[in-house]
């Protein structure tokens, strides 16, 4: 019999004790007869039974701690996206009087869930094994910022495909046809979907984007600077009239390079980002962008997870939140300067 199908009833039957006795042994009640403890422990070992961790914690009253697991990457504590996730999770935990344990992981080590009521995984770029581990251990878990199809877990994601398409539609509506794109990390679901949505939107609007106007970035300002220097060195016939960067950080770096090279934004070139980072308002020009509801996603994830931990939700929760266009000053119609 497979270990993940073994129930507390099977253990009770093998040990020839009641289910209540098994539960008391698992939760370490001091009043259990030592002989019964030995029989239950032996049955658990023989059947390779893994207790339902969340039920165990509910019985012991220690399920008020949740874990936030985030993939580690350079500059994580300078990242608007990461800070918004931490802020949203922290705000919801404070409201619900929960404790939060923050764990940065590259996904290579097993995750200790024994002291957690549930776990929120902020993306699963390298953490898929840990998500599967938590699921197999019956620990309530939820993934944010990623639509998960191959693991039976709840998720709250953002519709990055729609965001990319919104960017394409807006820039084309301004008359732009030579639109450059600086992608995020295309290994991530967000990066791939933003690019896919943008290109599908462009294609539906009967606009062709040449390959030389697509630069594979990684969300960093360094990659944005390399892309901007490359685009702005083109001759007038090939130079883009607009740039769509897959993050506001990259878009702000594009604007910085433009000013360094004597190129005006938006008079000479339109620049558009993705995130709605508050910094985008206070730069040399207020940035037009696609707002993704990161704080709302993070806060909602805690509330849904809390319902799972306390038994108020027994069905998977799966939703992708819609981004929205935020028009500011960094884009103009072609020829409007």
Give the pTM: 0.79
Per-residue pLDDT, averaged over 67-85, amounts to: 83
Per-residue pLDDT, averaged over 40-57, amounts to: 77
Q: What is the pLDDT of residues 190-226, one digit of tens each?
A: 999 999 999 999 999 999 999 999 999 999 899 999 9
- Percent with pLDDT over 70 in the chain: 93
Identify the band that residue 80 occupies on the pLDDT scale cut at 50, 70 and 90. Answer: confident
Residue 164: pLDDT over 90: yes
Task: List the single range of 30-34, 37-41, 164-168, 315-319 with lowest mean pLDDT.
Answer: 30-34
Identify the band that residue 4 occupies on the pLDDT scale cut at 50, 70 and 90. Answer: low
Residue 13: pLDDT over 50: yes
Per-residue pLDDT, averaged over 113-133, amounts to: 84
Identify the band that residue 105 occupies on the pLDDT scale cut at 50, 70 and 90. Answer: confident
Q: Between 315 and 93, where is the model more confident?
A: 93
Contacts of residue 222, Cβ cutoff 8 Å, sequence gap at least 6: none
- At 168 the pLDDT is 98
- At 289 the pLDDT is 98
Per-residue pLDDT, averaged over 223-232, amounts to: 97
- At 15 the pLDDT is 93
- At 201 the pLDDT is 98
Identify the band that residue 1 occupies on the pLDDT scale cut at 50, 70 and 90. Answer: very low
Identify the band that residue 56 occupies on the pLDDT scale cut at 50, 70 and 90. Answer: low
Q: Between 7 and 68, where is the model more confident?
A: 68
Q: Going from the N-terminus, what domains does the chain have, and what CATH number goes with each? A: 3-51 (1.10.260.40), 65-159+294-323 (3.40.50.2300), 160-292 (3.40.50.2300)
Q: Between 128 and 308, where is the model more confident?
A: 308
Residue 3: pLDDT over 50: no
First-to-final CA distance of the chain: 73
Per-residue pLDDT, averaged over 70-93, amounts to: 86
Per-residue pLDDT, averaged over 46-68, amounts to: 70
- Percent with pLDDT over 90 in the chain: 65
- At 2 the pLDDT is 42
Residue 321: pLDDT over 80: yes
Q: What is the mean pLDDT of the chain?
A: 90
Residue 154: pLDDT over 60: yes
């Amino acid at each position: 019999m497979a270990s993940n199908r073994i129930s507390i009833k099977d253990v009770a039957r093998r040990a020839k004790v009641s289910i209540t006795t098994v539960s008391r042994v698992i939760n370490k009640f001091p009043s259990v007869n030592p002989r019964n403890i030995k029989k239950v422990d032996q049955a658990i070992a023989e059947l390779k039974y893994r207790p339902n961790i969340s039920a165990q914690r509910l019985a012991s009253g220690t399920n008020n701690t949740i874990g936030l697991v985030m993939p580690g990457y350079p500059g994580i504590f300078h990242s608007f996206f990461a800070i918004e996730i931490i802020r949203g999770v922290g705000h919801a935990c404070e409201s619900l009087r929960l404790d939060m344990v923050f764990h940065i992981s590259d996904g290579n080590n097993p995750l200790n869930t024994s002291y957690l009521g549930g776990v929120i995984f902020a993306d699963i770029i390298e953490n898929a094994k840990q998500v599967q581990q938590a699921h197999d251990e019956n620990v309530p878990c939820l993934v944010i910022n990623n639509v998960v199809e191959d693991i039976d877990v709840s998720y709250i994601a953002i519709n990055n495909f729609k965001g990319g398409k919104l960017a394409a539609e807006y820039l084309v509506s301004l008359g732009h046809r030579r639109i450059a794109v600086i992608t995020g990390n295309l290994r991530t679901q967000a990066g791939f979907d933003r690019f896919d949505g943008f290109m599908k939107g462009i294609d539906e609007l009967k606009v062709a984007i040449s390959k030389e106007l697509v630069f594979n970035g990684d969300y960093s300002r360094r990659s944005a600077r390399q892309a901007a220097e490359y685009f702005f060195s083109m001759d007038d016939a090939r130079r883009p009239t607009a740039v769509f960067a897959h993050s506001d950080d990259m878009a702000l770096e594009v604007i910085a390079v433009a000013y360094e090279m004597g190129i005006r934004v938006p008079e000479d070139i339109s620049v558009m980002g993705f995130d709605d980072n508050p910094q985008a308002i206070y730069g040399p020009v207020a940035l037009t962008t696609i707002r993704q509801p990161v704080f709302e996603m993070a806060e909602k994830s805690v509330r849904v997870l809390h319902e799972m931990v306390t038994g108020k939700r027994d069905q998977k929760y799966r939703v992708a939140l819609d981004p929205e266009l935020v028009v500011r000053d960094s884009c103009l119609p072609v020829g409007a300067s």
